[in-house]
Amino acid sequence: MIKVLKFGGASIKNSKRIENVFSIIDKYKGQKIIIVFSAIANITNLLEDLVELYVNREAGVKNKLLEIKAIHFGILDNLFNKNDKVYEKINNIFDEIDLILDAKPHKIFSFNYDQIVSKGELLSSIILSDYLNLKKINNSLLDSRDFIKTDSKFQNAKIDWLLTKKKIKEKITNFPIVTQGFVGSDMSNNPTTLGREGSDFTAAIIANSLDVDEVIIWKDVNGVLNADPRYFDNPLLLDNISFSEAIELAFYGAKVIHPKTIQPLQQKNIPLSVRSFLNYENTGTIINSSEPKDIIPLYIVKENQVLISISDNNLSFIVEKHLSWIFSVLSKHDVSLNLMQNSAVSFSICVDNIKHKIPSLIEELSNKFTVFYNEKVELFTIRHYNSLSIERVIKNKQILLQQKSRNTVQFIVA
């Protein structure tokens, strides 16, 4: 029985939480486990700020780095003795970041991004591995760059499955293993990242490659709920959902699972449990091939969206030829659609507002078409909707666009 346990940033956000993670892992003592860690809470955001400052050659780079250092060393001071080896290991990673920051930025933004942002997971996994060793859970720390092999599409790297599976089987032989989520490397061994929130996906890649028996992801919620508690009061816990429903939920933007996570698990019929790291005795939600008995409305919110409306300059119809050009531009800019709608003279799309992609996308679309866009809109999706659930979502909101199918209704709201 092999199990993959994945811990996100919130579960290791401070030393108390790290002690709590130890208590969870201790329950699996003696079992074959692979533990995947994300970066400590908010560190990926701070590293993103750091890359931005570095690439734009702005003052404040070193202060940002000091801020990131302070968080890590604060945690070390609470968990370790001053002369423990872990201080040197963490210092070495910060020296590596310093070296990057002292050099001229690479011309490709996302190359710089992956070089720097990947360090978040390295830092957290070193701390956790050493802490578990200190607490007598003797583990091997494996560098995910040695086995998660990808193409060179930095910031959103695609997995080379054949090579990755081979490497995982070669490298993961003894247990427990501690490793990093979200991070891999390309064929020239440059670090790559799998897209924000990608650590769940790493857990699924390892699980699929080794045919493990179960994956458990530990969250700050009791499991998969029928709505994001940040937006809706009193969401209900779903004891069980099917792989297909989970894929839909993740696709529409339920932040609790990364969209790429489910497919590799479904392929091997590996159950995924979503459990609370705080109430860790609870079983949470199990995602597997069986369908739940009750179907209730599920609410999903995707924040920070842009609604882009594209129309022909002389108000003629948007025809297939135009659409095919628009799709090629979207693909070129690596922008995926969250919703699209066609009317007589305009084509509307809703996409994530990604800083380094959307302005250049809009610029290129504007070369051929008239383009209007609304920033800071939200995309609400209800699966298994009814009139009550729709009322709950749209009450007092300005609806910019809506789309209904048999199972799903979506609203773009300002």
Residues engaged in binding Mg ion (CB under 5 A): 8, 197
CB neighbour burial string for 102-133, b if at least 16 within 10 angstroms, e if fewer: eeebbeebbbbbbbbbbbbbbbbbbbbbbbbb
Question: 235 Cβ partners below 8 Å, 6+ apart?
Answer: 225, 226, 227, 228, 229, 299
Q: Which residues bind ligand ADP (CB under 6 A)?
A: 8-11, 38, 197, 219-221, 224-225, 227-230, 254-256
Q: Would you say 4 and 208 are in contact if contact means Cβ atoms under 8 Å apart? A: no
Q: 149 has which bridge partners?
A: 185
- SS3 state of residue 285: strand
User: Are 271 and 286 within 8 A, CB to CB?
Assistant: yes
298 in helix, strand or coil?
strand
Q: Which helix (H) or strand (E) holds 177?
A: strand 177-180
For the record, the structure tokens of 325 come out as 């050009």
Nearer residue to Mg ion within complex by CB, 157 or 221: 221
- Contact call for residues 383 and 249 (beta carbons, < 8 A): yes
Binding residue count for ligand ASP, defined by CB under 6 A: 12
The option from Mg ion, ligand ADP, ligand ASP, none interacting with 264 (CB < 5 to 8 A, set by class) reads none
Chosen from Mg ion, ligand ASP, ligand ADP, none, partner binding at 151 (C-beta under 5 to 8 Å by type): none
Q: Which two tokens stand for residue 266?
A: 């479904």
Among candidate residues 305, 351, 344, the one with its CA nearest the CA of residue 327: 351
How far apart are the C-alpha atoms of 117 and 105, rounded to whole Å?
14
Q: Which of 9, 184, 235, 259 binds ligand ASP (CB under 6 A)?
A: 9
For the bound state, the minimum distance from the C-beta of residue 83 to ligand ADP, rounded and expressed in Å, comes to: 32
Residue 120 touches ligand ASP, criterion: CB under 6 A: yes
Contacted by 243, from ligand ADP, Mg ion, ligand ASP, none: CB < 5 to 8 Å by type:
none
Smallest CA-to-CA distance from 218 within 259, 277, 280 is with 277
Nearer to ligand ASP among residue 38 and residue 226 (C-beta): 38
Q: What's the one-letter identity of residue 236?
A: L
Rounded to whole angstroms, how far apart are CA atoms 159 and 161? 5
Closest CA to 43 of 19, 79, 86, 8: 8
By the rule CB under 6 A, 184 interacts with ligand ASP? no
Q: What residue 369 binds from ligand ADP, ligand ASP, Mg ion, none (CB within 5 to 8 A, per partner kind)? A: none
Taking the complex as a whole, how short is the minimal distance between the CB of residue 388 and ligand ASP, in angstroms?
A: 34
* Binding residues for ligand ASP restricted to 206-235, rule: CB under 6 A: none
Does 190 bind ligand ASP (CB under 6 A)? Our answer is no
Choose the one of ligand ADP, Mg ion, ligand ASP, none that binds residue 311, judging by a C-beta under 5 to 8 angstroms depending on kind. none
Least separation in angstroms between residue 9's CB and ligand ADP is 5
Token pair of 119 as six digits: 């360090």
Q: For helices 43-55 and 119-134, what crossing angle results, to 10°?
A: 140
Query: Which of Mg ion, ligand ASP, ligand ADP, none is residue 120 near (CB under 5 to 8 Å by kind)?
Result: ligand ASP
The reply on whether position 182 binds ligand ASP by CB under 6 A is: yes
Distance in angstroms (rounded) separating the CA atoms of residues 212 and 30? 16
Asked whether position 13 contacts ligand ASP by CB under 6 A, the answer is no
Residue 10 binding partner per list ligand ADP, ligand ASP, Mg ion, none, with a CB distance cut-off of 5 to 8 Å that depends on partner kind = ligand ADP
Candidate list 11, 20, 44, 346; residue touching ligand ASP; CB under 6 A: 44
The residue (of 261 and 311) whose beta carbon lies closer to ligand ADP is 261
Q: Is 181 in the site for ligand ASP (CB under 6 A)?
A: yes
> Candidates 56-64, 96-104, 192-200, 343-351 — which segment interacts with ligand ASP by CB under 6 A?
192-200
Nearer to ligand ASP, 259 or 297 (CB): 259
- Contacting positions for ligand ASP (CB under 6 A): 8-9, 38-39, 44, 120, 181-182, 196-199
